[in-house]
Structures are given as structure tokens and as C-alpha cells.
Amino acid sequence: MRLIMLGAPGAGKGTHALLLSKEYNIPQISTGDILRSHIKNETDLGKKAKKYMDKGLLVPDELVVEIVKKRIQEEDCKEGFILDGFPRTIPQAEALDKALEELAIALDKVVNIDVPDEVIIKRMAGRRVCSNCGASYHIENKKPLKENICDECGSELKQREDDKEETVRKRLQVYEEQTKPLIEYYEKRGILLTIEGDGSVEEIGNKIKNTLEVSK
């Protein structure tokens, strides 16, 4: 199965991509992770990407698509893959389509997790992360035993800058402008599955799996 996960920041794309990866035994591919891997291993593609990142610039679409194209040709992607967080724009989607066509690979489905903005803001603004071990908590859904103290290592819990309400609203605005048009793009192709994403991880996970099974 070859999937793309869509959804606003905080909608749960990464969480459900990981669960689907285990369910179908196919890799979850995050462009951020593979970019970092190329840079760490000092590959030709990694060196090219690093030049842009060192200047504080976005890595060009052509280079990101080239890195994704290389990744999906690896052995563990023979039975499928899940693209998590890519594409983010229509030009990226078009470039990805071209690359997949060259490889004679067809996407099966695009899973769009739809969560109301106010739910996302509440969800993300409530997140707290351990400053030492990185363990994650939530002030309503996953409270630590002792307020603001990590259960695992006893260090202080902090709110990440990109989880603050003002930042989340800005990220949602960028999503609205740049990424949301992908919903219509894939809907026209007839491969979009929209899942209502306001609920527990288990509930949403079951919805996604059941919808994918029915749509096969």
C-alpha cells in the first residue's frame, strides 16, 4: 500500500502514519528524517541540501523530490510506503507525481485527517515536553503524576515554542494557504479519504484502518 498522510499541524499525521506503518509493515517516510540522514551521512544530496539549510533557506522542491524518489526505491519500500508531511504544496505534489510516473509507481490513497482548528489549538497548546528526556505529556489528556515534573526522570516539563497558541495559529494559517489545496488536488484524482480526526488515537486509528480496508 502506498499512502500519503495529509492534515494540519497537530492533526495526528505522524502518530497515525507510525501506526499504519506497523499495521502494514511498510516504512513511514518523513522528509525531515531523510534529509537529516543524508546530511549526517554526507551524501551528495545531503551536501546540496545542507548548503541551503546553512543559509536558513528552504531546500528546493526539486531536491526534496529527488531525495524522496531515491528513498522509495529502497528495498523496504517494495511492498509500499507512507509519506508523512510530504507533499506540502501543489508544485511538490506535481513534482512527486512526475517522479512516481517515472518509476511506474501509483499512489493508492491519500489519507486526510480533518480536525477543527480550535481542537488542534487546544491539543497543541496543552502539550508539555520533558526538558531532559523528551517524554511528552498533556495538561488534560496525559497529566504527569506531579504537576510540571516528568514521571520518567524528574526533570521540569516545558511548553515548546511551536506549541504556543500564537505560533500554532500562524502554522495553521500557512497550512490553510499552502497545503489545504492538496485536498482538492487529490480529491479530483479520486484517491482522497477524509477521516474526522477529533477523538482518541485508538478511535481515529480504527476509522483510518476500516476506511482503507473498505476502499481497497
Active site residues: 13, 88, 127, 160, 171
DSSP 1: -
The amino acid occupying position 60 is P
Residue 191 half-sphere exposure toward CB, CA atoms < 13 A:
15
Task: Find out whether 157 and 147 touch, Cβ atoms under 8 Å.
Answer: no
30-66 exposure pattern, b = at least 16 Cβ within 10 A, e = fewer: bbeebbeebbeeeeebbebbbeeeeeeeebebebbbb
Cell output for 207: 476509522
